[in-house]
Amino acid sequence: MRESILPPIFGEYQNQVKFVVQRTDDEYSSTCPSCGDMGHNWDNQRDFPDRCRWFLKGNPCGWCRICNNLFWPGKKEGARISRSQIQEWRVELERKQEQAIQKSLKSLKILNDQHPWVLWHQQMTAEQASYWSEEGIPRDWQNYWLLGYLAEKMVMHNGQSYRVPAYTIPNQALYSEGHRNGVLNIHYRLVGDIDIGRYRYEKGLRQNIFYTRPDWTPGERPVAIFEGAKKAMVVRARTNNDRLDIISIPSKTPPASLLEEISKTYRHGVYWCLDPDAYDNSREFASKCEHGRAVRLLYKADDWIVKHGITGGQLVDIIKKGELIT
């Protein structure tokens, strides 16, 4: 995707948003003029944010799907819209969002029907499996998470397509009646040209919590939360502790829906273990959880184990001493 500018009709908001992308002939997306969404490293996580949508058809307006604010031409200069009209707009925009959700669910069903991640795991060579081992994930855990390798993954960057190798991490859904239950998404760790970014997710699917033990019931144990699936997997693989759940979020600024899901699910100790540069985020997120704690890490969790020699048990001891926020 190529960064653009808002259409002239929305020019009054141009200086309040970033990462504008033209999605269709009459739709644009960007950060939100009201609630922002500026914290991501967008080049690494996905191409651009899609928080606020700008619509040219019908009644031109912008709508943030997170804070639910509406933005129309002339609003800053005092142009007023009736409450009934605003409600009509919101109903129509929510209908469009529901259509997008149904499209996403259809894509997810197709993905699970095809289950390509199983083949990518089965076809891994010894050399490719050794990559995961060197990253801190032994072969038995590779088999458990069905980690794999894809020789060619097509990705878009700045309007151009590229085909690059990728290591694959299926984000498995919680087990159903003791059995695997498909995936929620697939994480791709791109190999090679870092200019196009290092990570991608399955197009059209939302990002989710990554459960290192999808066979466990969430909320039954205290939980340690990391930034990125690989960190969580390395900690899980190196930690012989069945009394601590370990999960991850996609980035240090996850969607509000994931934070809400975590705060509602985990109530027996919630340890936020984000990367060292995101300690303030850990404190903020911990403040929204029952028995929330923020853990200050000296290094990224996987690097601390693989490159600096700390054991899983030692890391768990550090996690338990996290600063109590709530």
State yes or no: pLDDT of 216 exceeds 70: yes
Question: 188 and 239 in one domain?
Answer: no
Which of 161, 187, 205 terminates a domain? The answer is 205
State how far the Cα of 238 lies from the Cα of 310, in Å rounded to an integer: 10
- Least confidently predicted of 131-135, 202-206, 310-314: 202-206
Average pLDDT, the chain: 87
Clarify whether residues 299 and 220 are in a common domain. Answer: yes
Choosing from 67, 92, 111, the residue where a domain stops is: 111
Confidence band for 183, pLDDT divided at 50, 70 and 90: very high
Q: Tell me, what's the pLDDT at 278?
A: 95
For residue 58, is it within any domain?
A: yes
| Residue 100 confidence (pLDDT) | 66
- If asked whether residues 235 and 325 sit together in one domain, one would say yes
Asked if residue 236 and residue 214 are part of one domain, the reply reads yes
Q: Residues 67-73: what's their mean pLDDT?
A: 86
Same domain, 223 and 306: yes
User: Is pLDDT of 171 > 70?
Assistant: yes
**What is the distance between the alpha carbons of residues 253 and 137, in angstroms, rounded to a whole number?**
26
Looking at the structure, tell me whether residues 39 and 81 fall in a common domain: yes
Q: Do 171 and 279 share a domain, yes or no?
A: no
Q: 1 lies in a domain? A: no
**Of 175, 205, 235, which closes a domain?**
205
How much is the pLDDT for 106?
77
Residue 43 scores a pLDDT above 60: no
For residue 293, give every residue at least 6 positions away whose Cβ sits within 8 Å of its Cβ, in sequence order, or none.
269, 270, 271, 272, 286, 322, 323, 324, 325
Q: Name the maximum alpha-carbon separation found in the chain.
A: 65
Please report the pLDDT score of residue 65 as a whole number. 76
Looking at the structure of the chain, the number of domains it has is 3
178 with 90, same domain? no
Residues 223 and 314 in one domain: yes
Residue 40's pLDDT is 40
216 and 324 inside one domain: yes
Question: How far is CA 258 from each of CA 156, 158, 247, 252, 301, rounded to the nearest angstrom?
Answer: 26, 28, 12, 12, 21
**100-157, pLDDT tens digit by residue?**
666 766 777 878 788 899 999 999 999 999 999 999 999 999 999 999 999 999 887 7
Give the residue, 201 or 167, on which the prediction is more confident: 167
Q: Are residues 259 and 296 in the same domain?
A: yes
Q: Picking from 8-17, 151-160, 256-265, 304-313, which range would have the lowest pLDDT averaged per residue?
A: 151-160
pLDDT band with cut points at 50, 70 and 90 for residue 41: very low
Q: What is the pLDDT of residues 48-59, one digit of tens each?
A: 567 788 988 877
Q: Are 120 and 148 in contact (CB under 8 A)?
A: yes
DSSP, collapsed to helix, strand or coil, labels residue 77 as coil
In a domain, 29, yes or no: yes
pTM score of the predicted model? 0.73
Percent of the chain scored above 90 by pLDDT?
55
Are 222 and 323 contained in the same domain? yes
Determine the structural domain holding residue 30 and report its residue range. Answer: 8-111
pLDDT at 279: 96
Does residue 2 sit within a domain?
no
